[in-house]
Amino acid sequence: MKILSWNVNGLRACERKGFLDFLHAEQPEILGLQEVRARPEQLSEAVLAPPGYHVAFSPAARPGYSGVALYSRRPPDRVETSLGQARFDDEGRLQLARFGRLLVANVYFPNGNGKERDNSRVPYKLEFYRTLEARLARMRRGGLRVLVLGDFNTAHKAIDLARPKQNEKTSGFLPEEREEIDRWIAAGWVDTFRHFEKGPGHYSWWSQRQGARARNVGWRIDYVMASPAAMNFVRRAFILPEVMGSDNCPVGVEVDPAICG
């Protein structure tokens, strides 16, 4: 059972670059999209209702900004989109979808950069992380098997970006952001990709400047995190850098279908 995540950097643009071909080729059981940047009424019927999929959207209040979407072969038992605070909910960053005992959190974590590229949104970003993790911890205690997939907007370790020394003061690799990933892992969350792959050179985002992608000068900021109960069912984790259409590429896991039971 394949579960994928992809920051599409605008779903309308990604459709023009082959999104539906990707969906048909990969045939995921569940696909979470981030940075959709469109309301449902702005999207084509082909994207809104591809054959064989149930689709749910959570757009931001601000037009052309943020937003997440979930594609799934079976209908979710329920989908929640609120953390209970308008400052988070208005940005359309979250879907919590139940499939039996599996909870899939499709999340577009905030970037710490303000309008002046000044790291002014880092406090907001960290508060979002902590508020979400507290909510998910309660769901874990309730017996759910939780997968958190999405663009975390943070590279955890030096191995997770090509130029760590040059980015020590850049949002996405600040000590306090990396410490927040440490805190999640200390709470039991498993970085599924690093569980299976310990080596360097694996990235999920590349700058659109200076041929960074062709030279593989990137960052690994897209993850599937698993609770311990969910990790028991994860068989493989991977990145799909060959998939074009966005400055991020898809990441995913293969899981035993019994994870839902």
Find the mean pLDDT for residues 11-38.
Answer: 98
Residue at 17: amino acid letter:
K
The per-residue pLDDT for range 45-80, each reduced to its tens digit, is 999 999 999 999 999 999 999 999 999 999 999 999
Mean pLDDT of the chain: 97
Model confidence at 36: pLDDT above 90: yes
* pLDDT for 116 beyond 90: no
Q: Examine the residue annotation and report whether 191 is marked as an active-site residue of this protein.
A: no
C-beta separation of 123 from 98 below 8 A:
no
Q: Which of 21, 151, 182, 191 is catalytic?
A: 151
Residue ranges of domains in the chain, CATH in brackets? 2-260 (3.60.10.10)
In this prediction, residue 117 carries a pLDDT of 76
Interatomic CA distance for residues 135 and 7, integer angstroms? 23
How much is the pLDDT for 64? 96
What is d(CA 144, CA 103) in angstroms, rounded to the nearest whole number?
A: 6
Here the tokens at position 82 are 């609120």
Mean pLDDT calculated for residue range 137-151: 98
